[in-house]
Structure 1
């Protein structure tokens, strides 16, 4: 029965989960209060704050790191990679601390895991956001200076696909899915025979979401950018943190929006438009798959809303079976990746092996 510690850092929190034989033993979200909010906090100090908090958590719960079979960490912003589980080694740690193009909290996970393990326990990541299995046609944007990038909620989407394949009693490589992550950002991906060959970048493309604007008319965006009324930082925040449902209704919580919609038809229309745009994106993926889709898989936090799921299902159920795997289940998905390596069903790759594009 393997025992695995999962680590998932947020901007000011670190989520931990101890799992034994795939079952949750204990989970905890460590709050780092104001320790990480200062602008001049170094990456090394950030990792040390988290390490000290995790060590305290382990000590309080009588957990000896040497009794753990593996540490499973959230994958950070790495180069474009093949899907799968990767060994955390010195090269990966160096990349995440010194060379990653984006300074993101998830970049702290693997270095933190490596420090905790002290070389005594294997450390892994699984399916980071940079998983890249694109068809070459998927990369063309419309102008050669801008390439479409494969950035997605890979961890949850890949894990949901595995669960659905298992429920169907089939091998993942024999199935074609459209997988929809319904969270703060929305990713709609086409997975053909186990490979995610196309997906919208949730920050820049596709349907609007609870707090992201999705695709916008280019001309209007350019006009706004050069109006002199907004800084670059303000515009990026408007489109990626204050757009979508939030921009129209003042809330990015779908549950709250449904409550508001009882007395405000405009809010009802916004929710309906979000479902409509999601359905359009699903339909496009079904089209480029030639209609050969075994299931549409809905996952993420908003998939808990039966009402919202039914709004999407009403558009797309004629394309394929619609299955629902609600929630993000990130800690469990990380653990399952480590367990596949520990039980020999998957070989953990090293960073250099998995890089598909530089």
Structure 2
């Protein structure tokens, strides 16, 4: 196990920008959000521009690129894999480019990291991508034998805050049972049993509580009626349910910061909408308590919506009987990527291989 200082470049591609940071071990020494000036609709045609903008930003900062020991990108829609830190390889890049499990901006994270790392002759990694699948077969079953539930959730941050709390409690995450609720553009609530997420709602496909922009679970009959409305196309319906529902639909806002401002103004309509969300999140936490058979060491609230004390308090009032509730506001993406990479560089964890 090494005591040396490692310099790690982490990359989180977003729709309109590329967030990067440089860490020395787990200390952030530089961070920047690089705006995407070329609004090319094809994600994969953005790759070269994003790579160039990242490397030029670091050079302009005055840092020697050769001082970087590893590069880590946010993981995308790969094949289902267990949690951990993975070395990026050609197979992973191929699956991301071919959209093996769908196309999303997060797919670019590994591609950008791999290209930069190859030029620097260092390893590139991803950590706990959204497709982490540790669910039990029982958890995947539904009322239709041909339909199985999928594990797509905020794995990176959920596992990060679980590790953070275990550290605070001076315990090992492998010895704890926790429920983690990530509250953001999507809402996912996971049952963490001894380091594995054995059940979680798929916030992307619409399961569970509504979020900032997603509808959450809907009554089947009403959803069918909505889908067969005259002239409605599949893509229009997906846009409505995934990007134009939740708090966006209730409050007619575009950013989470808009909701926070309305809460500060004690807007009645906002308080009511957050009350509904809190009710649904608390109910989902209760479901995961049943999954863990009542043996719950802690409940964690995280994500950007967890920055709102009003929402947190409404949830806590309903679930604190289950276990102590802890809050870790924010997404923690960059730090989580750095920490996962650092565990490998320091020899505390072995990098996994993406091998299919």
TM-score past 0.5 threshold:
yes
Q: Name the counterpart of 1:149.
A: 150
**More divergent stretch after superposition (319-328 vs 300-309):** 300-309
Task: Name which of structure 1's ranges 149-158 and 61-70 shifts more when overlaid on structure 2.
Answer: 61-70
Q: Which residue of 2 aligns with 1:258?
A: 263
**Partners of 1:328 and 1:227 in 2: how far apart?**
37
Cα distance between partner residues in 1 of 2:101 and 2:325: 37
1:51 aligned residue: 51
Give the superposition deviation at 1:100: 2.5
Kindly indicate whether residue 312 of structure 2 is the aligned counterpart of residue 309 of structure 1: yes
4+ residue segments displaced more than 4 Å: none
Q: Please report the TM-score for the alignment, with normalisation by the length of structure 1.
A: 0.94
State the partner residue of 2:138: 137
Contact 1:249 1:257 in 2 (8 A): no
Q: How does 1:222-241 map to 2 (within 5 A)?
A: 222-241=224-243
1:229 Cα deviation (Å)?
4.1
| Structure 1 vs Structure 2 CA RMSD | 1.4
Q: Is the 8 A contact 1:66 1:121 kept in 2?
A: no
Match of 1:278 in 2: 281
What TM-score comes out, normalization by structure 2 length?
Answer: 0.94
Distance 2:107 2:43 in 1: 13
**Residue pair 1:22, 1:336 contacting (<8 A) in 2 also:** yes
Number of residue-to-residue matches in the alignment: 347
**Counterpart among 246, 250, 253 of residue 248 in structure 2:** 246
Deviation at 1:3, TM superposition (A): 0.5
**Which position in structure 2 is the counterpart of 1:184?**
185
| Cα shift at 1:261 | 4.8
Separation in 1, partners of 2:196, 2:325? 19
For the residue of structure 1 that corresponds to 2:106, the secondary structure is: helix
Instruction: Determine the structure 1 residue equivalent to 2:108.
Output: 108
Rate the CA distance shift 1:99–1:232 in 2: closer, same or farther, 3 A. closer
- Aligned with residue 220 of structure 1, among 209, 216, 222: 222
Give the structure 1 partner of residue 300 of structure 2: 297
Gaps of 5+ in 1: none
Contact 1:260–1:267 (CA<8 Å) still a contact in 2? no
Partner in structure 1 of residue 290 of structure 2: 287
Q: Matched residues in 1 for 2:239 and 2:31: separation?
A: 32
In 2, Cα distance between equivalents of 1:144 and 1:89: 35
Unaligned ranges ≥5, structure 2 = none
2-structure distance, mates of 1:198, 1:14:
31
* Partner Cα distance (2:229, 2:105) in 1: 33
How far apart are the structure 2 equivalents of 1:340 and 1:217?
A: 44
Q: State whether residues 213 and 240 of structure 1, in contact with CA within 8 Å, keep that contact through their aligned partners in structure 2.
A: yes
